[in-house]
């Protein structure tokens, strides 16, 4: 093999008790898309941060085109031709696309920033790599997919020869992700080495040439993508094989509904109907899935069921026969899509987040005993396999998958029969996904009445006992979960069965 574009050699990094990287070797060649995969917490971001000069390794070093380099900051990394696209974009919303791309490296003519040549350079780069972005557009108003392109262009403008992308598709729709992969192919074809961090196997198989798998800070597998399989990758990621999906038992309970939704008709502030005459019931012991293309009324429906939104003049939402309480009904357990906004209190610890809403039950007349809080939190942490240095760390210190398990731990152990779950496995890896599914099925089997919304059809079909389809605010179909994906897709897009 010719000299790698970049190489990490024997890299170790410890954060307190956590050995995030443990003697990692990784090499990426020019023109190659190299996927780095692993469960949440495997050490991927740490490794990439070391390569970009954001963290210093405790031991080990970095080679660039065969030369050992010292990286004390991202500025060093950029100087050595390393570029990184961050998961949380670091763009200036008030500036234009072109300004964001050239910032800090502006073309100058007669002592002033040369705006025209900046625009031209950006337009040339966009065209060369098929990264469409209007140089004059203000970044603040752009969709995430475009903002991500701006970040990539910024790295390419600085002549990055190694491009690092940490979970770039987490913020993208599937169509945008496909577009990104095409762009990465084009960029790689010009000789740039690309490191693509992800935990989605389909992306690895679709978009990469080589794969390095990390588990608990170590390399557990190296593969050429063409010679490997999903099964082999999963095994390296989680150290065991996933159980073969058994033929699902479909549950069709016939008791009284725990959740009864009647004739919901909801208009938005412009008077446009968002839900029209929606009625259905969920009984204890079943998972009812809600399918629909984005914006078909799912948001309004779930907000109404959880009491966050009024059911309108004609509508009713009944929990065990009694109307839902407006504001936030404590009888509904709720796992919202927006983990960091609605589901957790970022300024509080893991322990406090695990107990939100349960304070009254645990309080004695002397208040809330710290020991009880800790003991209960530790018990939940263990039972739901939440990995965190301690229950006292801020919830924001947890990885996405662990934060999601914490929200599930809290909500599924509430004594609520009605459980509303949105996108339960968004942004989590296969191991967590499997566990989350098992937890939801167990809650169902213990008599939970679960309303599930997921934009992932395979998830809806795996988990649901039946699936309701929303289209333009109406329930247009109800299917058995074994429905062919094609039929489901037709109903979701208004092509009625």
Ligand X SMILES: Nc1ncnc2c1ncn2[C@@H]1O[C@H](COP(=O)(O)OP(=O)(O)O)[C@@H](O)[C@H]1O
Are 134 and 55 a contacting pair, CB within 8 Å?
no
With binding defined as CB under 5 A, does residue 45 bind Mg ion?
yes
383-391, long-range: CB within 8 Å, 24+ apart, which pairs? Answer: 383/409, 384/408, 384/409, 384/435, 384/439, 385/435, 386/350, 387/41, 388/350, 389/16, 389/17, 389/18, 390/350, 391/349, 391/350, 391/351, 391/354
> How far is the C-alpha of 279 from the C-alpha of 83, rounded, in Å?
52
In the three-class reduction of DSSP (H, G, I as helix; E, B as strand; rest coil), residue 210 is classed as strand
Question: Could you tell me the smallest distance in angstroms from the CB atom of residue 383 to Mg ion?
Answer: 25
As measured in angstroms, the least distance from the Cβ of 135 to Mg ion is 31
Q: Which stretch binds ligand X (CB under 6 A): 42-50, 225-233, 462-470, 473-481?
A: 42-50
In angstroms, give the least distance from the CB of 400 to ligand X. 8
SS (H, E, C) 411-474: HHCCCCCEEEEECCCCCCCHHHHHHHHHHHHHHHHCCCEEEEECCCHHHHHHHCCEEEEEECCE
From ligand X, Mg ion, none, which one binds at residue 353 (CB under 5 to 8 Å depending on kind)?
A: none
Site string (12-31) toward ligand X, x via CB under 6 A:
---x--x-x-----------
Please report whether residue 45 would count as binding ligand X according to CB under 6 A: yes
**Size (the chain), residues:** 497
Q: What is the largest CA-CA distance in the chain?
A: 80
Angle at 333 between CA 327 and CA 339, to 5 degrees: 85
Taking CA 210 as the corner, what is the angle to CA 206 and CA 214, rounded to the nearest 5 degrees? 100
Single residue of 11, 24, 29, 41 touching ligand X by CB under 6 A: 41
Taking the least distance from each CB to ligand X, the nearer of 399 and 464 is 399
With binding defined as CB under 5 A, does residue 96 bind Mg ion? no
Return the number of the residue (36 or 278) whose C-beta is nearest ligand X. Answer: 36
What would the x/- binding string for ligand X be over residues 349 to 388, using CB under 6 A?
----------------------------------------
- Nearer to ligand X by C-beta: 189 or 393? 393
Shortest distance, CB of residue 112 to ligand X, whole angstroms? 40
Q: Which does 34 bind (CB under 5 to 8 A by kind): Mg ion, ligand X, none?
A: none
Q: Could you tell me if 464 and 288 are in contact, meaning their C-beta atoms sit under 8 angstroms apart? A: yes
Q: How far apart are CA 207 and CA 199, in angstroms?
A: 13
Q: Which of 428, 481, 171, 451 is nearest to 303 (CA)?
A: 451
CB of 476 to ligand X, least distance (A): 39
Question: Cβ contacts of residue 375 below 8 Å, gap of 6+?
Answer: none
Give the number of C-alpha atoms closer than 13 A to the C-alpha of residue 245, restricted to the C-beta side: 10
> Least distance from C-beta 240 to Mg ion, angstroms?
22
317's tokens: 């939402």
Of 197 and 488, which has the nearer Cβ to ligand X?
197
Question: What would the DSSP string read from start to end of 353-392?
Answer: HHHTT-HHHH-BTTB--HHHHHHHHHHHHHHTT---S-TT
Q: Which of these segments, 3-11, 38-46, 206-214, 350-358, binds Mg ion (CB under 5 A)?
A: 38-46
Which string of x and - marks every residue 396-435 that binds ligand X (by CB under 6 A)?
---x------------------------------------
Q: Please, are residues 147 and 93 in contact by the beta-carbon 8 Å criterion? A: no
- DSSP string over 146-167: HHHHHHHHHHHHTT-SEEEEES
Closer to ligand X by Cβ: residue 237 or 483: 237
Stretch that binds Mg ion, among 41-49, 52-60, 264-272, 448-456 (CB under 5 A): 41-49
29, 32, 35, 44: residue in contact with ligand X (rule CB under 6 A): 44
In the complex with ligand X, the residue whose CB is nearer, 116 or 392, is 392
Least distance CB 195 / ligand X (angstroms): 12
Nearer to ligand X, 15 or 92 (CB): 15
Write down the least CB distance from residue 167 to ligand X, Å. 8
Provide, rounded to whole angstroms, the least separation between the CB of residue 442 and ligand X. Answer: 26
Distance between CA atoms of residues 327 and 109, nearest Å: 59
Q: Are 463 and 289 in contact (CB under 8 A)?
A: yes
CA 1, CA 47: separation in Å to the nearest integer? Answer: 23
Name the minimum Å distance from CB 428 to Mg ion: 12
Contacts of 124 (CB under 8 A, 6+ apart): none
Q: Minimum distance between the CB of residue 168 and Mg ion, rounded to whole angstroms? A: 12
- Choosing from 4, 43, 168, 448, the residue that interacts with ligand X (CB under 6 A) is 43
Rounded Cα distance, 363 and 226, in Å: 58
Q: Which stretch binds ligand X (CB under 6 A): 40-48, 299-307, 317-325, 335-343?
A: 40-48
172 touches which of ligand X, Mg ion, none (CB within 5 to 8 A by kind)?
none
For ligand X, which is the closer residue by CB, 403 or 481?
403
Check binding of 195 to ligand X (CB under 6 A).
no
Which of the listed partners (ligand X, Mg ion, none) does 81 bind, with a CB threshold of 5 to 8 Å by partner kind?
none
For residue 43, the partner it binds in ligand X, Mg ion, none, with Cβ less than 5 to 8 A by kind, is ligand X
What is the closest distance, in whole angstroms, from the C-beta atom of residue 382 to ligand X in the complex?
17
Burial of 88 (0-12, 13-18, 19+ CB in 10 A): exposed
Is residue 463 near ligand X by the rule CB under 6 A?
no
Binding residues (CB under 5 A) for Mg ion: these are: 45
Binding residues (CB under 6 A) for ligand X: these are: 15, 18, 20, 38, 40-46, 399
């Amino acid at each position: 093999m010719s000299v790698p574009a970049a190489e990490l050699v024997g890299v170790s990094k410890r954060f307190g008790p956590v050995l995030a990287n443990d003697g990692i070797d990784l090499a990426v060649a020019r023109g190659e898309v190299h996927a780095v995969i692993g469960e949440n917490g495997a050490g991927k971001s740490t490794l990439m941060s070391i390569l970009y000069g954001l963290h210093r390794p405790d031991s080990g070093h970095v080679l660039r085109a065969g030369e050992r380099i010292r990286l004390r900051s991202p500025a060093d990394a950029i100087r050595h031709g390393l570029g990184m696209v961050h998961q949380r974009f670091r763009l200036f919303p008030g500036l234009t696309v072109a300004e964001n791309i050239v910032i800090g490296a502006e073309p100058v003519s007669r002592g002033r920033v040369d705006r025209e040549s900046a625009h031209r350079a950006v337009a040339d780069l966009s065209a060369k790599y098929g990264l469409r972005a209007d140089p004059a557009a203000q970044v603040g108003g752009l969709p995430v997919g475009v903002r991500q392109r701006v970040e990539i262009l910024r790295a390419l403008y600085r002549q990055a020869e190694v491009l690092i992308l940490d979970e770039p598709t987490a913020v993208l729709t599937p169509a945008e992700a496909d577009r990104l992969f095409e762009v990465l192919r084009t960029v790689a074809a010009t000789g740039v080495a690309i490191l693509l961090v992800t935990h989605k196997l389909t992306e690895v198989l679709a978009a990469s040439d080589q794969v390095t798998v990390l588990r608990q800070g170590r390399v557990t597998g190296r593969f050429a993508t063409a010679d490997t399989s999903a099964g082999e990758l999963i095994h390296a990621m989680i150290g065991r094989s996933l159980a073969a999906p058994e033929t699902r038992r479909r549950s069709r309970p016939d008791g009284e509904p725990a959740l009864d939704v009647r004739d919901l008709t909801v208009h938005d502030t412009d008077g446009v109907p968002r839900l029209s005459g929606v009625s259905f019931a969920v009984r204890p012991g079943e998972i009812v899935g809600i399918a629909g293309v984005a914006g078909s009324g799912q948001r309004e429906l779930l907000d109404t069921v959880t009491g966050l939104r009024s059911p309108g003049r004609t509508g009713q939402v009944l929990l065990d026969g009694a109307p839902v309480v407006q504001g936030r009904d404590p009888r509904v357990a709720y796992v919202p899509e927006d983990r960091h906004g609605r589901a957790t209190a970022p300024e509080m610890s893991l322990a406090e987040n695990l107990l939100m809403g349960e304070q009254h039950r645990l309080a004695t007349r002397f208040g809330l005993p710290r020991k009880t809080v800790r003991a209960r939190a530790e018990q939940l942490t263990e039972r739901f396999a939440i990995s965190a240095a301690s229950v006292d760390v801020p919830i924001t210190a947890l990885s996405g998958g662990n934060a999601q398990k914490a929200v599930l731990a809290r909500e599924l152990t509430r004594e609520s029969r009605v459980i509303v779950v949105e996108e339960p496995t968004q942004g989590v890896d296969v191991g967590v996904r499997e566990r989350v599914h098992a937890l939801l099925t167990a809650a169902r089997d213990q008599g939970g009445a679960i309303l599930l919304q997921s934009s992932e059809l395979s998830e809806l079909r795996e988990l649901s006992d039946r699936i309701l389809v929303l289209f333009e605010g109406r329930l247009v179909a109800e299917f058995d979960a074994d429905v062919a994906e094609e039929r489901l897709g037709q109903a979701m897009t208004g092509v009625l069965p």
